[in-house]
A and B are shown apart, each in its own frame.
Chain A
Amino acid sequence: MRTPISYFLLVSGTLFTIGTIGVLLRRNALIIFMSIELQLNAVNLALVAFSRQNGNLTGQVLTFFSMVVAAAEVVVGLAIIVSLYRKRRSVDVDDARMLKW
């Protein structure tokens, strides 16, 4: 008896919603960052679930790509946050509003 795909999608959707709400509501850049990771992983989960459902490995391959890109993105994002902290002694994204006219 295979677990129905709807279970996976339910978890994935829940994770994605939590991530989105985190991005929109939290002000700490690190938390926002982690929330974005959560969204990414929710999507990865959905991809794997669909792959399994359809018997097609393309989705799982794509997941690996997604994870590699996410790792690279973490490097860049964390570097930005660290330098932002050094500059402003704060990781509150509402403080970082220099780039407006």
Chain B
Amino acid sequence: MRLTILVPLLPLAGAAILLLSGKRWRGSSAGWLATGLVAAGFVVTLILFFRLLGQPPQHRRYVAHFFDWIQVGTFRVALDLRDDPLSIVMALTVTGVGSLIHLYAIDYMHGDPRFTRFFAYMNLFVFFMLTLVLANNFLVLYLGWEGVGLCSYLLIGFWFDRPAAANAAKKAFITTRIGDSAFLIGIIAIWVHFGSLDFGKVFGAAPGLANGTATVLALLLFAGAVGKSAQLPLHVWLPDAMEGPTPVSALIHAATMVTAGVYLVVRTHRIFEASSSALTIVAVVGIVTAIYAGLCAIGQDDIKRMLAYSTISQLGFMFFGAGVRAYGAAIFLLVTHAFFKACLFLSAGAVMHGLPDEETDLLRMGGLSRLMRVTALAWVVSAAAMAGIPPLSGFFSKDQVISAASLAGREALWVAALAGALLTAVYMGRATFLAFFGESRHDGHPHDPPPAMRWVLVVLGAGAAVAGVLGLSAGGGALLRFLKPVVGPPAERVAGPPEAVLSLISVIAALAGIGLAAFVYLSGRFDWQAFRARFAGARQTLARGFYVNDVYAGAIVAPAKAGAAFLAYLVDDRVIDGAVNGVGGSFRRLAGVGRLLQAGLVRRYALAFAAGAVGILVYVAVRL
């Protein structure tokens, strides 16, 4: 449907207008323009969504051809946009949650000297993300993919005058680039193999792939997803990315950008399924990341870093779901996660806003629920949703993901996922009780944010609470039924106990986690501060993410820096500059000899002149 082009075009127009008109926007008008355009994109997406609904399920796919982008020999890439259930669900999430975050940012960023530019970048980011999810071939998807990386660089480093932010931006860009390179190689390999980058052609031919080829292709694509979605071992950029403004964290690192990897795996699942081992690798990487990040999140004292690790952990669950072929459930978790994680980030932003000096240390909060009622309510609902407490949204989505492992007969993975869910409940409980309950450890007079920000929190919190209805009815719920034409039906039970029992077990795990956190941090019967001091080493290990960063710094960054220093200070300074300066210097020395002739004394020149004349005369006289 040609209307589809409007969806990415509206935010692009916003970015172009704001970037070109610069500082002419007074007050918050730039923010309202940006918000309005993303919201308009949301409305257009809704129209597309209802048009899709009006079709029978097997016909819910439109490909709109706009123009031929590249045509070289047999290599053809068209700029096509696709709307099918998966794209539309992603686009609705991006524009819906995105416009709420824009709205929140108007007040949050108020008074920033680069206010207009901030919204230009935000719009540009939404544009690239929409290009990514609406693409109908790998190259257009890659265009969005790289654009999203660029915008994350711009936005994480938005306060580039802070060295930490500038470094975090570089780190995010370089780390994701490692995955992006693998992804690009994967795209080239796909073209070499299928002779096309078009989704329809590639996925149509994918089931006939040889096992080895499919594994290589799938793992190259997955490497891209690992970088973008901050999974082990390329997760290190995301916690640092919290240096960006909080709405950026909410937009990029919770709701949209990092989900691109999950989307990619779900979109290309036919390639993964053609391989015997790729999906298992995806599931294992996902669950290991989920558990690892869950442990790290428990050790974080910074509220935003805690949320960053929780994002990594939840993304791990999404990959895990995709890895056990519960693609619909993975996307369901992605959608609900967008709600509750955006809400959590924005609540954290409200807390920072309310406390003096943008306080992010959980240990210097406490008891905020009495002073920031709306914020606390939004946070608690979202945190409970994330922990998987029924009837909130996270319960349905995460339960579907976890149960899928057992239903597929993979008990070991299921047990690991339960452990991950338990950790989720523990760290969310810990953060909630430390920040919002217990005795007050802060100074200043915290208060709820201004109305616009407050309403965004309310809407997102409500979404986090009720989005679970999408997974409520028969056959895995409305969302899964809607996605079925793209991702296939949810897996049938082949082994293990029935779903109701599995759900009960996940709820017990979630409640146990929260109970543990409540006992430690809320009941007053456990001296957690003494415990903390006693196990300082272990706490430090968790807080620093098992020293992965330090290992990278020692094993990769330090040798690279030493190599660069060798090249810069020895090879460049001595060898290259030495050769260039040596040539120049030898001419200078030669000129130094000739220069002696030019003394500047006119009489000496005249003498030379006369001597020359006499010389010629003598010569002529002698010759004649």
Contact = CB atoms under 8 A, between A and B. Distances in A.
Instruction: Tell whether A and B belong to one assembly.
Output: yes
Interface of A: 20, 23-25, 27, 93-94, 96-101
Interface string B602-621: 11001100100000000000
What 10 A-B pairs are tightest by C-beta distance, nearest first?
A97-B600, A100-B600, A93-B602, A100-B598, A23-B606, A24-B607, A24-B606, A20-B610, A101-B595, A94-B601
B607 A100 contact: no
B601 A24 contact: no
Interface of B: 595, 598-603, 606-607, 610
A99 B599 CA distance: 9
A96 B602 contact: yes
B603 A27 contact: yes
A24 B598 contact: no
Contact of B603 (A24, A98, A99, A100): A24
A69 to B, nearest CB: 19
Nearest to B614: A20
A101 B595 CA distance: 8
B469 to A, nearest CB: 88
Contacts, number: 28
B600 A98 contact: yes
Contacts of A101: 595, 598
Contacts of B610: 20, 23-24
Contacts of A94: 601-603
A25 B598 CA distance: 19
A93 B603 contact: yes
B607 A99 contact: no
A97 B601 contact: yes
A29 B355 CA distance: 85
Contacts of A96: 602
A25 B607 CA distance: 9
B468 to A, nearest CB: 85
A96 B605 CA distance: 13
B597 to A, nearest CB: 10
A98 B607 CA distance: 19
Nearest to A93: B602
Contacts of B606: 23-24
B211 to A, nearest CB: 77
Nearest to A27: B603
A28 to B, nearest CB: 11
Given A20-B610, A24-B610, A97 B603 contact: no
Contacts of A25: 603
5 contacts: A23-B603, A24-B607, A25-B603, A97-B599, A101-B595
Nearest to B611: A24
A34 to B, nearest CB: 14
A20 B603 CA distance: 11
Contacts of A100: 598-600
Nearest to B597: A100
Nearest to A97: B600
Contacts of A98: 600
A72 B600 CA distance: 25
Nearest to B599: A100
Given A24-B603, A24-B607, 4 more contacts: A24-B610, A94-B601, A99-B600, A101-B598
Contacts of A20: 610
Nearest to A20: B610
A14 B601 CA distance: 26
Nearest to A99: B600
B209 to A, nearest CB: 75
B12 to A, nearest CB: 59
Contacts of B595: 101
A16 to B, nearest CB: 11
B180 to A, nearest CB: 56
From B599, B606, B607, B610, name the one whose CB has the most chain A CB atoms within 10 angstroms. B606
Contacts of B600: 97-100
Contacts of B602: 93-94, 96-97
A25 B603 CA distance: 8
Contacts of A27: 603
A44 B607 CA distance: 22
B442 to A, nearest CB: 72
B237 to A, nearest CB: 57
A6 to B, nearest CB: 17
A97 B603 CA distance: 11
B616 to A, nearest CB: 15
Contacts of B599: 97, 100
Contacts of B607: 24
Contacts of A23: 603, 606, 610
Nearest to A23: B606
Contacts of A99: 600
B591 to A, nearest CB: 9
Contacts of A93: 601-603
A98 B601 CA distance: 9
B603 to A, nearest CB: 6
Contacts of A97: 599-602
